[in-house]
Every structure is written in C-alpha cells, then in structure tokens.
C-alpha cells in the first residue's frame, strides 16, 4: 500500500511547531537531517521536507496527501486548496509599513509610491479594493531594508514580534491579512487526517 505523505517546512519559523503538532498525534519520525523524505517508525506515513512556498503545489498535485503551511502562502498563491483546520500557531500579520519620518500618513498617500513586498498578489488585491495605484517592487526577502536603500517608499511584509520593523525604523500603516499555520489536504483524495494519524500510529512504539 502507498504510504500517506505529509509535507512540512524543512527549515524556518513553521518547522518546530509543525513537528510538535504531528508528534502530539503520536507519530514518531526523525527530522530532516536524515534526508528530505523520512519515514515514521510507528506508522505507514512519510514526512516530506520542503520549502514552505512549494508545499501547496505538492499537495495540489497529490505528491503529498497533507501539508502544514502558513495561510499567507496559500492565499498569495491563490491555490484554492482545502484547509482542513487552522492550527493556532505561527500567527503573524501581513502589514504595510513606512519609515517613521515618512510623509505617507494614511493609505491614500500610497498613491503613486513604490512598495517593496514578497506578497505582490495579496498586496495588489488590497490596493485594488481601495482604488490605490502604486508600483510594486517584488523581493524575495529582507524586505524591511528596501526603504533605507531607497529602493521603495513603503513595504508590505509579515510581522510577528515586530522586531524587524522596529530595528529598521518602520511604522505600521495597515494590517492587510492575518495568518496562522493551517493543515491542508489534497482535495481529490479527501482523506481524513485524524483517521490517518490515529489508524496508522499503531505499529509498535
């Protein structure tokens, strides 16, 4: 029988809590030091270790049956995947922020300005809904440094503790999306996660 496969982030902020969540369901498995596909020792389940951005695609096409990913990634990719449940950890917000001394004081002031972001799709939807026209500067990370480097006038990025904004003298203008970790599943297979985790975590210890 084909093993059930669960995709987790291989490194980063989601990883530790994702591992904890699966272990709380009784699954025993080594971490990804031992390769990018590890087997549970007490269940017919494999853990696939991926970049978080790639998790929705693996689940969509059925290479993984389940995945744990930030809701921000799902929405940005407009993957339309089935969210089985919100997991209550890795909470963060997608925020538009500007330098403390910026003359941008409200959303309307963003008209015609440059906004650096790793979330162009979510930002674009938000700006459109407010009828604001701005230039998107797409970056894959370290977004908070862009205004200091004169690359942009504002940023749109994730905020968890708020430390990165603080260090770079940025002030929040608006939260545009609230996110947390979610469990997703392939919609064609439509497996029940709890049944899979419970039913299979029975092989020895």
- Is the CB of 64 or the CB of 165 nearer to ligand PRP? 165
Q: For residue 35, count CB atoms less than 10 angstroms from its CB and return exposed for 0-12, middle for 13-18, buried for 19 or more.
A: exposed
In whole angstroms, the minimum distance from the beta carbon of 159 to ligand PRP comes to 4
Which tokens in the block code for residue 100? Answer: 């403390």
- Is the CB of 13 or the CB of 82 nearer to ligand PRP? 13
Annotate 120-130 with b (16+ C-beta within 10 A) or e (fewer): bebbeebbeee
Residues with Cβ within 8 Å of 149's Cβ and at least 6 positions away in sequence, in order, are none
In whole angstroms, the minimum distance from the beta carbon of 153 to ligand PRP comes to 18
- Is the CB of 140 or the CB of 190 nearer to ligand PRP? 140
Which of these segments, 72-80, 137-145, 170-178, 197-205, binds ligand PRP (CB under 6 A)? 137-145
- Is the CB of 40 or the CB of 173 nearer to ligand PRP? 173
Q: Which of residues 139-198 bind ligand PRP (CB under 6 A)?
A: 141-144, 157-164
Under rule CB under 6 A, residue 138 binds ligand PRP: no
In whole angstroms, the minimum distance from the beta carbon of 73 to ligand PRP comes to 12
Q: Are 197 and 28 in contact (CB under 8 A)?
A: no
Q: How distant, in Å, are the alpha carbons of 47, 61, 127, 128, 152 from that of 131?
A: 44, 35, 6, 5, 20
The residues of the shown chain that bind ligand PRP, judged by CB under 6 A, are: 141-144, 157-164
């Amino acid at each position: 029988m084909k093993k059930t496969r669960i995709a987790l982030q291989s490194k980063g902020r989601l990883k530790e809590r994702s591992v904890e969540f699966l272990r709380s369901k009784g699954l025993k498995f080594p971490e990804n030091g031992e390769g990018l596909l590890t087997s549970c020792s007490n269940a017919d389940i494999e853990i696939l270790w991926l970049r978080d951005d790639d998790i929705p695609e693996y689940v969509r096409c059925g290479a993984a049956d389940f995945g744990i990913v930030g809701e921000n990634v799902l929405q940005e990719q407009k993957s339309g995947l089935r969210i089985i449940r919100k997991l209550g950890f890795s909470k963060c917000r997608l925020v538009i922020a500007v330098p403390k001394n910026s003359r941008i004081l409200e959303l309307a002031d963003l008209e015609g300005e440059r906004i650096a972001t790793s979330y162009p799709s979510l930002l674009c939807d938000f700006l459109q809904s407010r009828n604001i026209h701005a230039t998107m500067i797409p970056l894959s990370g370290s977004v908070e440094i862009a205004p200091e480097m004169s690359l942009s006038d504002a940023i749109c990025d994730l905020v968890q503790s708020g430390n990165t904004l603080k260090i770079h003298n940025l002030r929040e203008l608006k939260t545009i999306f609230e996110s947390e970790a979610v469990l997703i599943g392939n919609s064609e297979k439509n497996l029940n996660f709890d049944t899979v985790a419970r039913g299979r975590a029975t092989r020895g210890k």
